[in-house]
Structure 1
Amino acid sequence: MPDVSVNGNMQQSEVAATRSGITALEEAFNGVLKSRQDVENTRNNLASGYKGSDGSAFQQLVSSWEGQCDVVLGNLKSMIETLNHTLAVHQQQQGSTKDEINQAYSQSASVFDTLAG
């Protein structure tokens, strides 16, 4: 997770790094998903040829692998969601800061206009 400064705002370079991390995790997720689909296709193609104990062992191997694959996919999804949440929080903070600046500017302009008469 990127470093966050004391006031909770991310630096621009941290935002870019977080977005790059999200992209890399999404690519990894898609790669694992494609591999899982390839294994499923292989299982379906070989299922009719594997009989008896060989077929049973093969099915168990593929099922075990798919279970592990599901764990990896779940972890990748969780990391992607966490980084997306981090960016969303940053954008909300950035919007609030901009609103505060605009409000302060309006107040200062009003004060100046009053003093200028």
Structure 2
Amino acid sequence: MWLYKHRKDLKPEVSESQQAIFDQGYEVENYARELLPKGVEIEDVFSDGDKKTKELIDSGVEVIYQASVMADGLWVMADIFVKNGDNWDIYEVKSSTEVKNEHLADLCFQKIAFEKGGFKI
């Protein structure tokens, strides 16, 4: 992630097979967004995504695609972030047929970071 923000010139090339996996993931995420419509996407999440997330929340947006937070040195991005009463729900979208341990670890890490950022999850 550091490279995406600070040294894009050092990013490694993406192979065709990696790009196909990324494209499939984007397609699945777009289907998930249809289930939670009327959201606002943060386009350039790697630069100021956390600030844009706060701005959208302050303006009353209740569904955010690619919401992020930086707290206590932790940076995370949620695929879909949804207001639920006084709390927020994190939706992590995966192109997989089963829940894997790394999916749970990723979601737990996101929960910790968002809570450190002052959000009730």
After TM superposition, the score normalised by the length of structure 1 is: 0.27
Q: Which of the pair has more CA radius of gyration?
A: 1
After TM superposition, the score normalised by the length of structure 2 is: 0.26
Higher relative contact order (CA 8 A, sep 6+): 1
